[in-house]
């Protein structure tokens, strides 16, 4: 039973149906098809504002293209020390941005704090050209720790950034899980809270390979993003299949339904862990990831029973359990039983 990553789940059947439907006949290449052409309008409805959408097939590319557009090569991207862009993208943000520096900051539960962010921005760059130049703030929603920024927390971060002339990027690889967790509208925790560009991820949430940059009020970034997408080899000739996935996920709020399922599974596991002996939650469970602390022997025992999950690098008593839309109630129940030892 796979609790390793939502990346390892299959795509939802609605996605395959959307691909089949998009596969009727010829379509203009390079993102000029009828699916891609509907994205701006459709996302503008979902986000309740006139936004612009750049479909991209991976989150790493989406993040990197966004950051490269906002930050000059001599810029600094301020992010949490656990951020995916800092740790897990093999240097893609540095590649796309031609060498911008990622400045990683500490913060409890995977969240940047306004104060430490303000101090970091104010302290960097005091020596002019001798320093890199703070250029963009990036937060992850939901965070790498399975927590979620409250709306007010996003607002506070945005305020710190904007007061200093820096835009705010949100890495939303698990954005749907955060929105469901907060019970808010997508708008509330993005542009209304000060987010300037969102990497909107659906791959982890049941798509094959479908992500998008959603740009709020910065049309001046569009050309550069599209140029960078092309130069990165991410302007798919048959983009219709990516765009069709995006549209299918938004249909009837499927994206929120699937994220809700994953979150519910995680919440159940969290309750089990809190109640069980010999293990505890390492971070609050607010989305679809559960970080459990337990004796290495106990974790090994779970693995031997067929539960697959990752041990946190460098911490043999910390395991990450990820639930997905495709995780079944039975699997969760079985894992819960194994954890609680009953």
For its own copies, the binding residues in 184-243 under the rule CB under 8 A are 203-204, 208-209, 224, 226-238, 241
Whichever of 135 and 153 has its CB closer to its own copies, that residue is 135
Whichever of 107 and 194 has its CB closer to its own copies, that residue is 107
Contact map string, positions 34 to 63, toward its own copies, x by CB under 8 A? ----------------------xxxxxxx-
23 binds its own copies, rule: CB under 8 A: yes
Of 338, 342, 331, whose CA–CA distance to 265 is shortest? 331
d(CA 191, CA 195): 5
Alpha-carbon distance values, 194 to 23, 202, 285, 313 (Å)? 38, 22, 25, 33
* Options 84-92, 142-150, 179-187, 250-258: segment touching its own copies (CB under 8 A): 84-92
d(CA 209, CA 96): 20
d(CA 303, CA 30): 45
Whichever of 112 and 225 has its CB closer to its own copies, that residue is 225
Whichever of 192 and 240 has its CB closer to its own copies, that residue is 240
* Options 72-80, 156-164, 254-262, 291-299: segment touching its own copies (CB under 8 A): 72-80
The single residue among 91, 278, 296, 341 that binds its own copies, judged by CB under 8 A, is 91
Contact map string, positions 120 to 159, toward its own copies, x by CB under 8 A? ---x--xx-xxxxx--------------------------
116 binds its own copies, rule: CB under 8 A: no
38, 63, 288, 156 alpha-carbon torsion, rounded to 10°: -100
Phi, psi (rounded to 5 degrees) for 267: -60, -40
Whole-number minimum distance, CB 242 to its own copies, in Å? 8
Whole-number minimum distance, CB 155 to its own copies, in Å? 27
The single residue among 14, 42, 49, 99 that binds its own copies, judged by CB under 8 A, is 99
Residue 106 is inside which H or E element, if any?
A: none
d(CA 268, CA 286): 11
264 binds its own copies, rule: CB under 8 A: no
The single residue among 44, 49, 87, 113 that binds its own copies, judged by CB under 8 A, is 87
The single residue among 35, 43, 54, 64 that binds its own copies, judged by CB under 8 A, is 64
Alpha-carbon distance values, 266 to 81, 179, 245, 337 (Å)? 24, 15, 25, 14
Q: Collapsing DSSP states into helix, strand and coil, what is residue 13?
A: helix
Residue 23 is inside which H or E element, if any?
A: none
Which are the contacts of 164, defined by CB distance < 8 A and separation ≥ 6?
Answer: 118, 121, 122, 134
Whichever of 86 and 293 has its CB closer to its own copies, that residue is 86
SS3 content of the chain, % helix, strand, coil (to 5): 45, 15, 40
Whole-number minimum distance, CB 85 to its own copies, in Å? 11
| Beta carbons of 205 and 255 less than 8 angstroms apart | yes
Q: What's the half-sphere exposure (Cβ side, CA atoms, 13 Å) at 308?
A: 9
Whichever of 111 and 229 has its CB closer to its own copies, that residue is 229
Whichever of 26 and 183 has its CB closer to its own copies, that residue is 26
Query: What is the total count of residues that contact its own copies (CB under 8 A)?
Result: 76
Would you mind telling me the total number of residues written for the chain in this entry?
Answer: 342
Tell me which residues in 300-339 interact with its own copies (CB under 8 A): 313-314, 326
């Amino acid at each position: 039973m796979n609790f390793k990553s939502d990346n390892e789940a299959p795509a939802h059947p609605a996605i395959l149906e959307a691909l089949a439907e998009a596969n009727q006949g010829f379509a203009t290449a390079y993102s000029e098809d009828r699916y891609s052409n509907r994205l701006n309008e459709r996302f503008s409805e979902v986000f309740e504002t006139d936004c612009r959408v750049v479909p991209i097939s991976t989150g790493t590319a989406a993040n990197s293209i966004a950051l490269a557009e906002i930050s000059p090569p001599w810029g600094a991207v301020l992010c949490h020390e656990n951020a995916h862009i800092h740790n897990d993208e093999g240097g893609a943000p540095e590649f796309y941005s031609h060498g911008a520096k990622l400045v990683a900051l500490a913060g409890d539960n995977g969240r940047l704090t306004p104060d430490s962010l303000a101090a970091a921005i104010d302290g960097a760059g005091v020596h002019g050209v001798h320093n890199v130049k703070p250029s963009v703030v990036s937060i992850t929603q939901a965070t790498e720790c399975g927590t979620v920024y409250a709306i007010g927390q996003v607002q506070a971060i945005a305020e710190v950034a904007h007061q200093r002339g820096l835009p705010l990027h949100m890495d939303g690889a698990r954005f749907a899980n955060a929105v469901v967790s907060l019970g808010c509208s997508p708008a509330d925790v993005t542009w209304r809270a000060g987010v300037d560009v969102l990497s909107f991820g659906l791959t982890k949430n049941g798509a094959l390979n479908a992500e998008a940059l959603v740009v709020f009020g910065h049309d001046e970034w569009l050309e550069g993003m599209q140029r960078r997408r092309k130069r990165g080899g991410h302007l798919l000739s048959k983009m219709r299949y990516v765009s069709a996935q995006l549209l299918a996920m938004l249909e009837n709020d499927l994206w929120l339904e699937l994220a809700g399922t994953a979150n519910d599974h995680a919440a159940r596991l969290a309750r089990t862990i809190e109640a069980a002996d010999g293990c505890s939650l390492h971070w609050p469970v607010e989305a679809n990831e559960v970080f459990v602390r337990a004796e290495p022997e106990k974790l090994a025992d779970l693995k031997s029973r067929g539960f697959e999950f990752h041990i946190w690098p460098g911490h043999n008593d910390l395991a990450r359990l990820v639930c997905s839309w495709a995780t079944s109630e039975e699997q969760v129940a079985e894992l819960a039983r194994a954890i609680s030892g009953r």
